[in-house]
Amino acid sequence: YVDILKSPLIISTVKKTLKLEQSSYELAQKISVVNTDNSQIVTVTVKDSNPKIVKDIVKTLAEQSQKSFQQYTNVQGVKVLTDPELQEQAEKLFPKFQLIIPISLIVSFFVGIGLAVFRDYFDERIYTEQDLEKITTVSVIGHINMEPNRKK
């Protein structure tokens, strides 16, 4: 059953019926067909950005598959268990902004902390006399006081 639902014959018929601009391959990539535990019940899932198109694709796919099952396999008892029109609305899978925003804030916080630690760890500038004495074996003889607010 799964192979028949994703067959080029049914996919192209759905595409022609709905007058979709996408190719049959793109439409087939949006359709997922799952047969659980070798039962005769098949679950069809369609992923698209437009919920109305999703319902239309599922409804047309179900109608076309019923006709094809009856025509090509002589199976007469094929029925649609869940009508897409009865579903209140298609579920929006992605993007879920309620989830993305907190995750992006947490990730950006840790990236900022990581960059600050990274810059501090690899900073090789000399700030004090002790920093200079660590680098060279020569002791510091003199010291020049610079005014911090003085412009060069």
**Beta-carbon neighbour count of residue 53 at 10 Å?**
16
Assess contact for 58 and 84: CB atoms under 8 A: yes
pLDDT tens for the chain, residues 1 to 152 = 677 788 888 888 888 888 888 888 888 888 888 887 777 777 888 888 777 888 888 888 888 888 877 777 766 667 776 665 545 555 666 667 788 899 999 999 999 999 999 999 998 888 888 888 888 888 878 877 777 765 55
Closest listed residue to residue 8, CA positions, set 29, 22, 31, 24: 24
pTM here is 0.55
**Beta-carbon neighbour count of residue 100 at 10 Å?**
11
Assess contact for 40 and 73: CB atoms under 8 A: no
For residues 3 and 115, give the distance between their C-alpha atoms in angstroms, rounded to a whole number. 51
Place of tokens 């992923």: 47
**Beta-carbon neighbour count of residue 104 at 10 Å?**
11
Within 82-128, residue ranges assigned H as helices are: 97-121
